[in-house]
Structure 1
Amino acid sequence: MDDEHDIDPWLFNISSDDSEEHERFLKFKGVFLPCMYLTVFVFGLVGNSLVLVIYIFYQKLRSLTDVFLVNLPVADLVFVCTLPFWAYAGTYEWVFGTVMCKTLHGMYTVNFYVSMLTLTCITVDRFIVVVQATKVFNQQAKWKIWGQITCLLTWVVSLLVSLPQIIYARVERLDIHVCQYHSEAISTVVLTTQMILGFLLPLLTMIVCYSSIIKTLLHARGFQKHKSLKIIFVVVAVFLLTQTPFNLAILIRSTSREYYNMISFQYAIIVTEAIAYLRACLNPVLYAFVGLKFRKNLWKLAKDIGCFPSLGVSSQWKSSEDSSKTCSASHNAETTSMFQL
């Protein structure tokens, strides 16, 4: 999604016979972008920070899943922390200098790719946990080490594929100062990499892995089966609804230069890009908060900071855990409950 910062020159230099329409677009952009960026920033900051706090102080990294669920909020946190700068630059102009331009481009791009690659790893992890539960149970320590190595590799790969944008990022004077990279060759490489690592790879992985998971769950016994299926459909639906529109928009725009100067298409780019960024807010809900163990620790945190001093939630969670253990009486039921992170 870093491609959005490459369109700033056209956002400020749209050739249109209808100057009033152009003015309306700039006013819309000046209000919509900072509102959406800052909304994603606030909710993404709170949600992902909660995940990190709970994993650091309440929940040890006992499994491969836990390793990935720490890597994801770290990437999303750094990602959302760049948004206030882009919000200001999109509303006014770039005032932060060349060093910050390269730095923020690097932070933005690297963490975008880390986040998407980690989502792919989580999908594969869930496939292994559900479809090959016995193998995972017998080799938990080994899988955890592989998870740590995989997380490190996601950062290395993300840094490598982001180098062109970091190297070529610079501040240019157009109608106003903008931070961008602008090169036909680089733009083609960036678009191809973004489409493959940021959309097609996670999507294909979800289709393949979740199809096998659904097949396994349909043959499983236990009351959590239908809940697990619902979570799968929600995860896939959210990914498609948030990521598909923007990726289609930039793909269509890349086919013809005339789209750069179409005000109606610029509306589409801005709106779909903002929708795509919502993943940073939704990731904590989809990949951490649905877990019984995580929610139990979230309640502990709330009690420790004095939010619910008089609520006896411990017995509620004990009852839930007992029910979960009952569900895990058979191998198939265990497989089903293990999907509940």
Structure 2
Amino acid sequence: MGTEDDLYDNLEEGENNTDTLLHHFLPVPYSITCVLGLMGNVLILAVFVRYEKIKTMTDTFLVNLAIADILFLLTLPFLAYEAAHSWVFGEIMCKIIRGAYRINLYTSMLILTSITFDRFISITNATKANKYRVTKQKWRCGVCICLWALALLLAIPQFLYSTTKGENKCFEVFELSIMQLVVVSLQMIVGFLLPLVSMIFCYSFILRTLVNARGVQKKKSMKIIVAIVVMFIATQLPYNSLVLALALNNGLHQKKSFFQICIIMEAVAYFHACLNPVLYFFVGTKFRKYFWKMLNALGLKKVAEETSDNLRGTDGESKNISATTNLNVTSV
């Protein structure tokens, strides 16, 4: 979620450790992330198409999150090949891949932020939940269109400044250092700091509400919230901190140790695309029910379906607008 390609600029072929990390290590996590992420997110779309349909604001967010993650994951094979060998796809393709990569990446993070705010309003303002539920249904498509449009605006620098160097690497080249700093700072604020601050702020209030709530979902919901925040910080904070440090001090990319750490943290950051399906959908009881139904329909496995006559969607269907009835929002 930064300008990691600037790090490639001063790589020397004779540096064994760095060469091993770049050409042998990086393609492996890229490939694993791509395969596992595609499986999880495609399965989410299949469940929505076959069973769940898109009925609520949260459903709309989850579908768009899955689409953004899928499109992001589809750029990883190109980046994996570049890391293992070199960029051989031409300058036009370089701009397309880098631009599409940024659009999907920022759309994913903006949707995560929107899901956070949606949960915050639904749970902490439970007395207004019914009114909010009706209002947001009217605007769900418009909100998602705005998120994609904002991500497109943020990705414009990648379309403009992405280029190839000796047809070996694809990265952004900025005419002025101050321009690079402004672009990286803006992209980091919207693509990382905004989701991070919103998660910490909103989920802290949600947790406080859950402490006073009753019901069997309370403990499970609190665990999911903690997992969401911890996983986001663990995967995104280290790499984005390094990218920001690089933008502030270009001389850091000449240090082999800094470059090596960036390679590892980059792989960790991208793995979050695999975690999104788990954290935002797979943990739901409703998903497991539909998952077993899908397996039975395909004749792959005969299992007993989970029984629950009162399964609610993430926006809820009960007229009892207490904090307890809104716990299912946090567990999707």
The TM-score with structure 1 as length reference comes to 0.90
Structure 2 distance, partners of 1:171, 1:124, is 40
**d(CA) in 2 for partners of 1:46, 1:214:** 31
Q: Which moved more, 1:126-135 or 1:147-156?
A: 126-135
Match of 2:326 among 314, 335, 339: 335
For residue 71 of structure 1, the aligned residue among 64, 68, 76 is: 64
**Which of 194, 205, 211 does residue 198 from structure 2 map onto?**
205
**C-alpha spacing 1:134/1:307, structure 2 compared with 1 (3 Å):** farther
* Contact preservation (8 Å) 1:63, 1:141: no
- Give 2:244's aligned residue: 251
Look up the equivalent residue of 1:222 and give its one-letter code.
Answer: G
Deviation, 1:140, is 3.1
* Offset, 1:194: 2.5
Q: Aligned letter for 2:137?
A: K
Contact 1:54/1:298 (<8 A) preserved: yes
Structure 1 residue 2 displacement after superposition: 4.2
Q: Secondary structure of the equivalent of 2:165?
A: strand
5+ long unaligned stretches in structure 2:
none
Match of 2:260 in 1: 267
After superposition, where does 1:91-240 map in structure 2 within 5 Å?
Answer: 91-173=84-166, 177-183=168-174, 184-240=177-233
1:311 is aligned to 303
Structure-1 residue corresponding to 2:5: 5
Aligned to 1:312, what secondary structure does the other structure show? Answer: coil
Give the SS at the match of 2:170. strand
CA contact (8 A) 1:114 1:155 kept: yes
Q: Secondary structure at the match of 2:214?
A: coil
Q: Could you tell me how far 1:235 is from its partner in structure 2?
A: 0.3
Q: Is contact 1:110-1:162 (8 Å) kept? A: yes
Name the amino acid aligned to 2:244: L
CA distance in 2, matches of 1:328, 1:23: 64
Deviation, structure 1 residue 118 = 0.4
> Does the 8 Å contact 2:106/2:151 carry over to 1?
yes
Give how far 1:288 is off: 0.7
Give the letter for the 1:164 counterpart.
Answer: P
Q: Check conservation: 2:124, 2:323, Cα contact below 8 A.
A: no
Q: How big is each residue's C-alpha offset from its partner over 1:226-265, in whole Å with a ceiling of 9 and x where there is no partner? A: 1111111000000010001101111222332331111111
Q: Distance in 2 between matches of 1:197 and 1:39?
A: 27
Does residue 297 in structure 1 map to residue 290 in structure 2?
yes
Hey, what does 1:55 align to over in structure 2? Answer: 48
Compared CA separation, residues 337 and 25, structure 1 to 2 (3 A): closer
SS in 1 for 2:52: coil
Deviation for aligned residue 1:101? 0.7
Residue 189 of structure 1 deviates from its aligned partner by: 2.7
In structure 2, the CA distance between the partners of 1:186 and 1:109, relative to structure 1 (3 Å rule), is farther
Q: Which whole-Å CA distance do the structure 2 matches of 1:129 and 1:295 have between them?
A: 23
List runs of 5+ in structure 1 lacking aligned partners.
none
Instruction: Supply the AA of the counterpart residue of 2:7.
Output: I
Give the drift of 1:137: 2.8
Alignment root-mean-square deviation, CA: 2.1
Q: Distance in 2 between matches of 1:261 and 1:142?
A: 53
Aligned-pair CA distance for 1:78 = 0.3
Q: Which amino acid aligns with 1:227?
A: K
Q: Which residue in the other structure is 1:276 paired with?
A: 269
Report the Cα distance in structure 1 between the residues aligned to 2:40 and 2:129, rounded to whole angstroms: 29
Which whole-Å CA distance do the structure 1 matches of 2:184 and 2:326 have between them?
Answer: 39
Task: In structure 1, give the amino acid aligned to 2:43.
Answer: L
CA distance in 1, matches of 2:226, 2:281: 16
1:105–1:169 CA contact under 8 A, matched in 2 = yes
Q: Which amino acid aligns with 1:65?
A: T
2:4 aligned partner, one-letter code = E
1:16-52: per-residue Cα shift (whole Å, max 9, x none)? Answer: xxx5xx1232023211111010010001110111111
**Alignment partners' CA distance in 2, 1:240 and 1:153:** 26
Question: Percent identical across equivalent pairs?
Answer: 39
